[in-house]
Amino acid sequence: MHQVPAETVETRSADAPAGLEDLLDGRLPDERGRFGPYGGRFVPETLMPALLRLEAESRRALADPGFQETLAWELATWVGRPTPLTRAPRLGERWNAELWFKREDLTHTGAHKINNALGQALLARHLGARRVVAETGAGQHGVAAAAACARIGIPCDVYMGEVDVRRQAPNVQRMRRLGARVIEVKSGDRTLRAAIDDALRDWVSDPRGTFYLLGSAVGPHPYPWLVRELQSVIGREARAQMLEQAGALPDVVVACVGGGSNAIGLFHPFLGDRSVELLGIEAGGDGDGIGHNAATVVHGSPGVLHGSRSLLLQDEHGQVQETHSVSAGLDYPGVGPEHAFLRDVGRVRYGSARDEQALEALDECCRLEGILSALETAHALAGARCWADANPGSRILVGLSGRGDKDLGILAERQPAPAGDL
């Protein structure tokens, strides 16, 4: 099997200025919702009362033992937490690494998205919302939102781009079975970016009666912070499990990055462990040019999208560009503001993996470990393989963010099932 050379994963980092300690001490985001120069609220005035109310109620709820007890109970008895930490010995032997997986693919609904969806659905009920709107790309957040809303008994509308409706048809069926209304978006690029645009327009029309259940660590404050807080259960569990099962922290933690919710949830509890490298892998698509990838941190520049200032894929005139990835969940031209900040302060390195690298890593994981990962996760696997090439014998923790059942149609087109052994 062809091994991808380590240098094919592009990385970009900076010398660490002041700022990381403020994040670790809880002083970031600041009162304006900023992580350094990133974040904030760039929204119509009609949304400001809803955002301010959401921030105040979220902070109260997350500090309330009663709310936390309810959330923990649902995570344990309905979602299936804690998720396992799994050693991957055969794949690790091939890559010359001690390889571990944090198994978010084993949650109810099959991905990390349910952690955030459940927490926000409980907040929606607490705030007295009459309905929930959500957006989705790969469909996993839509499925999680639909399931969480069914669990608590609140109507849910999910916006999904026409392109993604076609390539993620199984998840569309799941959302509808769970009682959600799937609204197909035929404007714009007809992918995740357009779905967020339409969900925001819906929310603006009724910001008090409608709760916007945002699925990634993007958007106006408090969403990047709130999603981080709800997803950090991944990293807290993984850190404790590594110490218990491996007897040591990992040398590197690797996660895929689109908007960045699974990555920030996994990375955040490790930020203070300076011996642990953190590596985010974006979608390198099929090339470096505009429209050929979704590698926002690697190729992007600062700008405003969906209510937040962060890194974007844009042209010299500030026009946000279309993206490409074999993975619907990474096919987004922006990234969460906390990721942009962590790049700037040098705490996290970011790279990209091409479509073919991700498909190859997915195939290896399937056939050596018996685990079919999501195409999003496959980018993290490709990044981990490149890290192992450059750092033989490393202890590597990979965030297995979701399972790949939803991607079987794409895989059948792009990568027919092979016969025989590797």
pLDDT, tens digit, for every residue of 354-393?
999 999 999 999 999 999 999 999 999 999 999 999 999 9
Question: Which residue type is seen at 39?
Answer: G
Look at residue 10 in the predicted model and tell me its pLDDT.
40
> Tell me, what's the pLDDT at 328?
85
CA distances from 153 to 28, 145, 183, 403 (A): 34, 12, 20, 26
pLDDT of residue 7: 35
Query: What pLDDT score was predicted for residue 329?
Result: 87
Residue 136 Ramachandran class (φ > 0 left, ψ -120 to 50 alpha, else beta): beta
What's the angle, vertex CA 106, arms to CA 295 and CA 354, rounded to 5? 20
Query: pTM for this one?
Result: 0.94
pLDDT band at 12 (very low <50, low <70, confident <90, very high): very low
pLDDT at 415: 65
Q: Which pLDDT band holds residue 19 (cuts at 50, 70, 90)?
A: confident
Express each pLDDT in 78-117 by its tens digit: 999 999 999 999 999 999 999 999 999 999 999 999 999 9
Q: Which residue shows structure tokens 């009920």?
A: 125
Residue 2 has pLDDT above 60, yes or no: no
Q: Which residues contact 101 (CB under 8 A, 6 or more apart)?
A: 85, 86, 87, 88, 369, 371, 397, 398, 400
* Percent of the chain whose pLDDT exceeds 70: 94
pLDDT band at residue 417 using 50, 70 and 90 as cut-offs:
low
Tokens of 66: 């009663």
- For 375, counting Cβ atoms within 10 Å of its Cβ (0-12 exposed, 13-18 middle, 19+ buried), the class is buried
Confidence band of 167 (pLDDT split at 50, 70, 90): confident
Least confident of 12-16, 272-276, 346-350, 406-410: 12-16
Q: Are 147 and 117 in contact (CB under 8 A)?
A: yes
pLDDT, position 15: 41
- The Cα 411–Cα 365 span in angstroms is 14
Give catalytic residue positions: 113, 135, 401
For residue range 291-327, what is the model confidence (pLDDT) as tens digits? 999 999 999 999 999 999 999 999 988 999 989 999 9
More confident residue, 416 or 261: 261
Grouping H, G, I as helix, E, B as strand and the rest as coil, residue 418 is coil
Cα gap 203→220, rounded to integer Å:
13
Q: What is the pLDDT of residue 141?
A: 96
d(CA 288, CA 324): 11
Q: pLDDT averaged over the chain?
A: 93
Confidence of residue 418 (pLDDT cuts 50, 70, 90): low
Q: Domains plus CATH for the chain? A: 6-26+80-110+232-414 (3.40.50.1100), 37-76+113-227 (3.40.50.1100)
The whole-number average pLDDT for the span 197-218 is: 95
